[in-house]
Amino acid sequence: MKAETKKYIFISLVIATGIFDFCTFYFGRLLHFEINPIFVVTQSVLLLFALKVLVISGLAYMVFSKRNKTYFSSYAFILVGLYLIIAQFAGGISNINITYEQPAPEQALAPSQAVETFAYLSLLWIYYPLLMALLGFKLWEWVYIKKGEEFLIDGIRNGNNKEKAKKNL
């Protein structure tokens, strides 16, 4: 399978889970139960949707960009996309569970509790693991990649032929 095909599959998964998460939130009428601080502060579904589209579009642009990528930046884009897939899928499943439980709006968290819960979940399940994975990769790159190879994705497999490696991006 070509790298370009794999990129399309990857971005398609990010988009599909984003649509799944947003649709289960919006059509499940879960506005009272959203804990995303952007929504809690602004109460704007449109802003939340626009931000989701912006983030996914930015990730797709970075994945498909033909500019010189380092091993680290390519790994970071894939890792962020993976975390988006997992977080959006978990959010959609959570939305479905809340929809079927049909709790009363009075059971929703207070805005300050919602933001605190979001911060806790984000730090514990997304940002700390993401940071550890990126730091671990940066350490690997520092130890194993020779100076001058770090800016080419295929630098090692292509015998450091920079022009050939750039074409493979």
3-state secondary structure at position 133? helix
Dihedral angle computed from the Cα positions of residues 6, 7, 10 and 16, in that order, rounded to the nearest 10 degrees: -120
User: Residue 124: pLDDT above 80?
Assistant: yes
Residue 10: its pLDDT value, please? 97
pTM comes to: 0.79
pLDDT digits (tens, 9 = 90+) for 139-165: 988 888 776 665 555 444 444 555 655
Give 129-134's long-range contacts (Cβ < 8 A, gap of 24+). Answer: 129/83, 130/79, 130/80, 130/83, 133/79, 134/72, 134/75, 134/76, 134/79
Query: How many structural domains comprise the chain?
Result: 1
Q: What gap in Å lies between CA 145 and CA 74, rounded to an integer?
A: 15
Q: According to the 3-state scheme, what is the secondary structure of 52-88?
A: HHHHHHHHHHHHHCCCCCCHHHHHHHHHHHHHHHHHH
In angstroms, the CA 126 to CA 88 distance is: 12
Residue span of the structural domain in which 113 resides: 3-167
**Does residue 81 have a pLDDT over 50?**
yes
What's the pLDDT tens digit per position in 48-79?
A: 999 999 999 999 999 998 777 788 888 999 99
pLDDT at 31: 85
Q: Can you give the pLDDT at residue 148? A: 62
Residue 85 has a pLDDT of: 96
